[in-house]
Structure formats: structure tokens, C-alpha cells
Structure 1
Amino acid sequence: MSEVEVVRVFTCEGAGGNPCPVVAEASAMDAGAMQTVARRYGHESGFVLSPADDAHDFTFRFFVPNHEMEMCAHATIGALWVLARRARLTNAPVRIATASGTVTGFVQKRDDGSWRVEITQPAGRVAPLTSDAVEAVCAALGIGREALADLPLHNAATSRVKTLVPMRLPAGLHALGPDQAAVEAVCRSIGSTGLYPYAIVDGPGRMFEARQFPRSSGYPEDAATGIAAAALAFGLLHDGTIEPDDRPILIHQGRAMGHLSEIRVRIGFAGDRALGCLLGGEVASGADLSITPAGVSA
């Protein structure tokens, strides 16, 4: 029996965040048992396994209710937070093997006893959508082009592809009520794993609001999506919405769900070339979601 610890990742002022079940001793679990955890809790779940080689400290696997994921940023951050609190991090930085490649974790204990956690993501890839694809995305979201800001729609990725949809106003963003079947259909047609509409709150201050409607995770909306936030950072850089420097980009997500989250992204540069980014946020206990899946002790 493997213990499940539920945490909330990317909390904002101690509240909200994205709930994440973490199994810190998952080497004896097979894929079916891992997916059972994700299905019973109804959230993206992270599993910590022994490394397969000397180049890594751990192997992480990730499941949503419907399938396994190559990479999940908030589950990675949550699992590192759990490992740090259990005094299981002996190396710094931490090298993690995932299905999407190696991720490096940076974990630091603050003076107040809390833990600061950041993880790496590679430089983002950004590709504009065709006019027909834009129309299909708007139809899935239930909006017309007049609701969009005067910016391109992109497919962008640091690992999984997300579709960046610039909304003219935050109010329009929070009023969205897309049809889940339409979201899945359009995402499959354009090669995306989710629609990520966003709005500029304070451009010079690098503050944004966003929502995530996944393609087929088993739930209609995500309270915080680190992979999408990283993709958004590179979309913003591509469009010239942010300056090419390493100041933090703050992305608030989950407001419409009542789970306000804050994701921080810092892009790293060599001269004027973006090399990748650091993705981080605060973590808190999520004991309020302590249900007990079959075959697992909570």
C-alpha cells in the first residue's frame, strides 16, 4: 500500500492552487495503480520512482484520470516539496527523469522554514494558427473574433503543446463557458493538448490572467497549469508583449473556479537568446482532499 499525500501547488497568498495527489514511494506501483489514484482523486497526480540510471536522482510519472502524461509541472513541484519535507533530497540541484526528458529541480529552504521550488523547462516553440484554426478555436470557446485582443493565436510548447488565445479583456476571459466536446475536437484538429485563453492585466508589470481547458484529461478546467504558463511566457516574448529579460512573469489562473493560483516564470537568456525558463510557485498541504482511493492509504 502506497501513501498518497495531497498538496496544493501554485497557491496565491496561502489559498487556492491546484490540488495534486503525490505518491513519494511509487516504485512498486504499475501504471494501472497510478491511474487509479488519479481517477479516484480526480486530479493530475505525481509518482516518485527510483531512477533508472546514474544520471538522475528520481524518475517521475504523471497521470490524469484519462491517461498518462509525459510531463506535469505542478505535480513535479508538488512532489519535490513533499520529498524536501521528508528529507529525501540529498543532491542539489535535483535531476529528474520524465517521459518528456530531464527536468532539473531547484529546492531551497527559506529562513521561515518554507520551501522554494523551481523547475526547468526548455526554450519554447511558438507557431501561429491559420485563420481557419482561429475560427474553430473561437467557436469552441463560444466567442467571436471581437472578443480577442489584437495579438496572434499560437500553438506554443516547452513540453506539451498549448493553444494561446489572447482575450481583449479579463472580464471576457472569466465569462468563458466552452463546450468540452468542442474543445476536445478542436484541440485534436490543431495538435494541441489544451486551450489557454489569457488576458493582459499589467503589461509593464508582467501580470496576466489565464484559464486552461484541457483536451481530454477527464475534467473540464484546470486551476493551475505550469506547462501552459511556461508556453505562454514564450508566446508573450515572441509577440513582444514582454521585454526580453529575466524579470518574473506572474500568471494568475483558476479565479473563475474559485481556486486562484499564482504561477511564476523566469526566462533565462544568453545574450538575446532565450535558453529556457524556471517555473515555480508556492505549495501548501491539501489535506482537505484526503479521500482514500481503493488499494491506497491516504
Structure 2
Amino acid sequence: MQTVYFVNAFTTQTPHSGNPAAVCVLDEWLAESTMQTMAAQHNLAETAFVVETGPGEFTIRWFTPTVEIDLCGHATLAAAHVLIEHFGMRNERLAFESASGTLFVSRKPQLTLDFPVRQLQNSEDADRYRRAFALPQATVLYNDLAALIECENEQAIRDFQPNYSAIEALPARIHYLTAPGDACDFVCRVFAPKLGIPEDPVTGSAYTSLMPYWSKKLQRTTLGAQQLSARGGHIRLELCNDRVLIGGQAQTVIVGKWAIEVDHAY
């Protein structure tokens, strides 16, 4: 029977902080439809499925409750935590082959993702984003995955009431609402209703675009960020050329087993 680990990633170590992910470490791949069904049953933003390919080397796939996605930070952090804490991995760095290339997670001084930068550019649909977010003066940038919408200050982020129907109708799959922080360098909230995630608690992959944007704006390569979701999360960031180092803590909160057999036919 398949074991599943529920892990809070980017947590402050309190019971209901950070972003929960489910992690399944497999001997061999399950049928894609089975993984999607399992992710829907887990009903978390992402479920990570991992298969070992060599010493300290793995392939990873991520599923929301409705679709497979090509990059997820918090579930990768959660997967590395499970491999280290529950499978005894002692490697200083784990490598994950994924749809977004090779991703790395180092274990000191805390778990740290090593992800490629995803740059943003001006959007031809900027006015559509401003109307949907009711922010007529906002800076809007875009890439093939996400849109960044910059607010004036942190309080505007905290007070924002999303219109999910309007956001879902926008071209981007994910939306980063961001502003300078009061007690940290910058803050954000992340909305992805197209992916079945109205608001994501803490979004590791978002910082592959947010970090280069704020690094250039603040003229620093080491920053601290906070995601202002209801659960909240704290992220330590460093920009290293075309890679972003994304650090945070993780904590296992539930370990369970599927009570029915799952299909291993890929």
C-alpha cells in the first residue's frame, strides 16, 4: 500500500503555517490517471511523486487536484524533506529531473531550492490585469507561466479582495501580487484559480520570477520575503546569476497509507 507524507513547506514550525504538500515516493511510476486521481483525493495545492534514478538523484512530477504542472517549489522542498527525514538520504544535495529541467535541493544551513530564473517582460494585456485586480496604476509584467502585478505597499496586498472569476479569465495561469514589505524586503500573494488553486499559501516557484524582479529593483542579491496568505510563510532568497536559491523550513504533519491498491501500469 502506498505511503503518503503530508508536509508543511516554508513553515514557521507552527501547526498551521506554510504550504502543505503531499509526497509519494514510488518504486516505479504509477499510471498518469492514477496520480491525478490521488492528487485530487489529497486535495492539496500539489502532490509530488518521486522515483529514484541514482544515488541522490530522482525524477519528480507534480499534480494539483485538477492538472499536472511543470514546476512547483514547495512540493519539491517537501519531497527533499521526506527523502532526508524518512528515507535517510545523507547527500548534501539532491537532484530532481523535472519538466522544468534539473532542480537541486541542498540541506544546509536549511533546505534550499536551486531553481532556474524565469524572467518577466512587459505585457500587452496589462490593462486587462489592472482591471481584473482593480489596480489602475499597477506595474504588470508577464512570462509564459505567470503575471506579476505590483501594488504600492504591503497594506494594499493585505487588504486585497480577489475577484476569482475575473482572475481566472486572464491569460496567465498564475498571478503574483507583490509590493515592498514593511518588515521584510517584499511581500506577495499568489492566485491560480485556473489550476484549481484560488490562493496558494506559499509558492516556491513564484520566487524564480519575483526574486530577479526585486533584486534588480532593490539592487541586492540576498533578500527576505513573506507570503501574506492566511497560513503565511517566510522565504530566504539569493540570486546567483541565472539561478535562484529559495530557502525555508519544512515539517511532516501526517504520515498515512492508501487503504486500496494503486495502479502501477504507466
Verify the 8 A CA contact 2:3 2:258 in the aligned structure 1: no
Q: Measure the CA separation in 2 of the matches of 1:291 and 1:85.
A: 15
Over 3 Å counting, the alpha-carbon distance change for 1:102 and 1:135 in structure 2 is same
Which of 189, 192, 202 is matched with 1:224 structurally?
202
Q: What is the match of residue 116 of structure 2?
A: 122
1:58-137 matches, within 5 Å, as: 58-108=58-108, 116-130=110-124, 133-137=125-129
Over 3 Å counting, the alpha-carbon distance change for 1:168 and 1:207 in structure 2 is same
Q: What is the match of residue 295 of structure 1?
A: 260
Q: 1:125, CA displacement in angstroms?
A: 1.6
Q: Measure the CA separation in 1 of the matches of 2:212 and 2:97.
A: 23
Give the SS at the match of 2:147.
strand
Q: Which consecutive unaligned segments of at least 5 residues does structure 2 have?
A: none
Q: What is the match of residue 271 of structure 1?
A: none
Give the root-mean-square deviation of aligned CA atoms: 2.5
Q: Do structure 1's residue 172 and structure 2's residue 156 form an aligned pair? A: yes
Give the SS at the match of 1:49.
strand
Over 3 Å counting, the alpha-carbon distance change for 1:229 and 1:26 in structure 2 is farther
Q: What is the match of residue 39 of structure 1?
A: 40
Verify the 8 A CA contact 1:58 1:97 in the aligned structure 2: yes
Name which structure has the greater RCO, CA cutoff 8 Å, separation 6+: 2
Over 3 Å counting, the alpha-carbon distance change for 1:80 and 1:195 in structure 2 is same
Q: 1:242, CA displacement in angstroms?
A: 1.8
Q: Measure the CA separation in 1 of the matches of 2:177 and 2:131.
A: 13
Percent identity over paired residues: 24
Letter in 1 for 2:154: P
Which is strand-richer, 1 or 2? Answer: 2
TM-score by length of 2: 0.88
Q: What is the match of residue 162 of structure 1?
A: 146
Q: 1:91, CA displacement in angstroms?
A: 3.5
Q: 1:174, CA displacement in angstroms?
A: 1.9
Q: What is the match of residue 132 of structure 2?
A: 140
Q: 1:60, CA displacement in angstroms?
A: 0.7
Q: Do structure 1's residue 250 and structure 2's residue 217 form an aligned pair? A: no
Q: 1:28, CA displacement in angstroms?
A: 4.3
Q: What is the match of residue 153 of structure 1?
A: 140
Q: Measure the CA separation in 2 of the matches of 1:164 and 1:215.
A: 15
Letter in 1 for 2:135: G
Letter in 1 for 2:147: T
Give the SS at the match of 2:198.
coil
Q: Which consecutive unaligned segments of at least 5 residues does structure 1 have?
A: 111-115, 269-273
- Select between 90-99 and 42-51 the one with higher mean Cα deviation: 90-99
Q: 1:23, CA displacement in angstroms?
A: 0.7
Residues 70-103 of structure 1, C-alpha deviation per residue, up to 9 Å, x if partnerless? 1211111100000001244254322211111111
